[in-house]
């Protein structure tokens, strides 16, 4: 079992005297910057001139350029999207790194695939919350935590791991638990969920919608039953409280029997073969190469896929329920 670090295992004093820089003030950047600030430190923020920069200023941060923060900070949390990280790193961060500086990633992607290679003597760490940015902030304010993965590269004396753990504590993760992991493990787990688990759920949901509407069911009622009611969310919460299978006891016995007796139908051999293909594409770097090419080509396939998604009848049904969706969404969204 992976080693799990909690609050009592971590001393944040190792961050005293260090200048912490936050590069990117998006969903994770804002949450982590505010949590670190509330933990008693004074991070500096870098962001391009957009709405996130304005929000950082409104939140009380002095916002500088990425290169300025890279010059001044000796611990840099690199929290911009994976696909733009390599160019930004090469042009605005790497030239200003000195021996003993630390770059912290929230994803294993670029380090695992070798698109970012910091120089010798620079610490490479990962603090990867398994939680969306909004919840990272909301849970911190409630005195609660969330799981995260921590890792280090080229950590000869263990000092860089201590920094990673201190940052994990500063953002509130060790209240729940920081799991000792690796860049490879984080990248594979994350990509596999994105390419096997969630696509499978998407496809099954679309089939659910299509088959029921083909059989005369009202599209808006199907859409509401499918996800708009919020039952998905409540089932997920019940899994946390009662366990993955334990939550089934909250359903009728008809539902329990139907789910357990029909589960194998949804995983035929051909599907399992496809799952093996997905993990192979991730591990071999084939997906990474495909995504790099897609970006260089101007993302034509991505635009086409988005067009197909927005033209699906489910999207049309959802649009008709926009007022209801907004009412329900308000009950789930917390304040900024």
Distances (CA, A) of 258 to 138, 139, 219, 233, 238: 37, 36, 23, 20, 19
pLDDT at residue 332, as a whole number: 67
Segment 149-177, tens digit of pLDDT: 999 987 778 899 999 999 999 999 999 99
Q: What is the mean pLDDT of the chain?
A: 93
pLDDT at residue 155, as a whole number: 77
Segment 55-106, tens digit of pLDDT: 999 999 989 999 999 999 999 999 999 999 999 999 999 999 999 999 999 9
pLDDT above 70 (res 335): no
Q: Between 20 and 117, whose confidence is greater?
A: 20
In terms of domains, do 71 and 204 share one?
Answer: no
pLDDT above 60 (res 334): no
In terms of domains, do 19 and 159 share one?
Answer: yes
In terms of domains, do 101 and 204 share one?
Answer: no
Calculate mean pLDDT across residues 240-261: 92
| CATH code for the domain in which residue 50 is found | 3.40.50.720
Number of domains in the chain: 2
pLDDT above 90 (res 273): no
Burial annotation 245-257 (CB, 10 A radius, 16+ → b, else e) = eebbeeeeeeeee
In terms of domains, do 31 and 131 share one?
Answer: yes
Segment 21-54, tens digit of pLDDT: 999 999 999 999 999 999 999 999 999 989 999 9
Domain final residue pick, 127, 150, 181: 181
- Distance, in Å, from the CA atom of 131 to the CA atom of 200, rounded to the nearest integer, reads 21
Among 125-134, 303-312, 322-331, where is mean pLDDT lowest? 322-331
Range of the domain at 305: 186-332
Q: Between 39 and 198, whose confidence is greater?
A: 39
In terms of domains, do 91 and 233 share one?
Answer: no
Sheet holding 75-78, edge to edge: 4-5, 177-180, 147-153, 123-129, 102-105, 75-78, 20-23, 44-46, 63-64
pLDDT at residue 333, as a whole number: 65
Neighbours of 268 (CB within 10 A): 10
- Distance, in Å, from the CA atom of 168 to the CA atom of 89, rounded to the nearest integer, reads 22
Please write down the HEC assignment for all residues of the chain: CCCEECHHHCCHHHHCCCCEEEECCCHHHHHHHHHHHHCCCCCEEECCCCHHHHHHHHCCCCEECHHHHHHHCCEEEECCCHHHHHHHHHHHHHHHCCCCCEEEECCCHHHHCCCCCCCCCCEEEEEEECCCHHHHHHHHHCCCCCEEEEEEECCCCCHHHHHHHHHHHHCCHHHCEEEECCHHHHHHHHHHHHHHHHHHHHHHHHHHHHHHHHCCCCHHHHHHHHHHCCHHHHHHHHHHHHCCCHHHHHCCHHHHHHHHHHHHHHCCHHHHHHHHHHHHHHHHCHHHHHHHHHHHCCCHHHHHHHHHHHCCHHHHHHHHCHHHHHHHHHHHCCCC
Segment 122-153, tens digit of pLDDT: 999 999 999 999 999 999 999 999 999 999 98
Per-residue pLDDT band at 324 (split at 50, 70, 90): confident
pLDDT at residue 73, as a whole number: 97
Share of residues in the chain with pLDDT > 70 (%): 98
Domain final residue pick, 154, 181, 208: 181
In terms of domains, do 88 and 221 share one?
Answer: no
Calculate mean pLDDT across residues 288-312: 94
In terms of domains, do 111 and 81 share one?
Answer: yes
- What is the distance in angstroms between the CA of the first residue and the CA of the last residue of the chain? 37
pLDDT above 60 (res 256): yes
In terms of domains, do 39 and 121 share one?
Answer: yes
pLDDT above 80 (res 272): no
β-strands 44-46, 63-64: how paired?
parallel
In terms of domains, do 76 and 147 share one?
Answer: yes
Domain final residue pick, 145, 166, 181: 181
In terms of domains, do 177 and 191 share one?
Answer: no
Distance from chain centroid for Cα 251: 30
pLDDT at residue 156, as a whole number: 73
In terms of domains, do 73 and 164 share one?
Answer: yes
Q: Between 89 and 2, whose confidence is greater?
A: 89
In terms of domains, do 133 and 115 share one?
Answer: yes
pLDDT at residue 239, as a whole number: 92
pLDDT above 90 (res 330): no
- Distance, in Å, from the CA atom of 323 to the CA atom of 325, rounded to the nearest integer, reads 5
Which residues does 330 contact at the CB level (< 8 Å), separation at least 6? none
Segment 203-219, tens digit of pLDDT: 999 999 999 999 999 99
């Amino acid at each position: 079992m992976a080693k799990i670090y909690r609050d009592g295992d971590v001393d944040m004093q190792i961050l005293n005297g260090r200048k912490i820089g936050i590069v990117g003030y998006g969903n994770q950047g804002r949450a982590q910057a505010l949590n670190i600030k509330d933990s008693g430190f004074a991070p500096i923020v870098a962001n391009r001139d957009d709405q996130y920069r304005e929000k950082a200023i409104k939140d009380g941060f002095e916002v500088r350029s990425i290169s300025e923060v890279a010059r001044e900070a000796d611990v840099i949390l690199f929290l911009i999207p994976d696909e733009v990280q390599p160019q930004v790193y090469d042009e605005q961060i790497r030239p200003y790194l000195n021996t003993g500086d630390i770059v912290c990633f929230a994803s294993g992607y670029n380090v695992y695939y070798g698109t970012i290679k910091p120089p010798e003597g620079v610490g490479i760490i990962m603090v990867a919350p398994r939680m969306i940015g909004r919840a990272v902030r909301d849970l911190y304010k409630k005195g609660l935590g969330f799981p995260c993965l921590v890792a280090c590269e080229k950590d000869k004396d263990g000092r860089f791991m201590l920094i990673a753990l201190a940052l994990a504590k500063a953002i509130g993760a060790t209240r729940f638990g920081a799991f000792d992991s690796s860049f490879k493990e984080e990248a594979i787990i994350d990509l596999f969920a994105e390419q096997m688990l969630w696509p499978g759920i998407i496809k099954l949901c679309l089939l659910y919608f299509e088959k029921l509407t083909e059989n005369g069911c009202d599209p808006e009622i199907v859409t509401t039953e499918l996800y708009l009611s919020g039952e998905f969310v409540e089932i997920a919460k019940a899994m946390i409280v009662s366990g993955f299978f334990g939550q089934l006891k909250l359903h009728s016995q008809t539902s329990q029997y139907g789910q357990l007796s029909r589960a194998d139908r949804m995983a035929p051999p051909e599907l399992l073969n496809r799952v093996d293909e997905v993990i192979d594409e991730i591990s071999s770097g084939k997906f990474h190469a495909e995504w790099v090419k897609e970006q260089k080509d101007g993302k034509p396939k991505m635009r086409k896929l988005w067009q197909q998604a927005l033209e699906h009848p489910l999207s049309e049904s959802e649009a008709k329920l926009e007022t209801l969706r907004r009412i329900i969404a308000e009950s789930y969204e917390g304040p900024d």
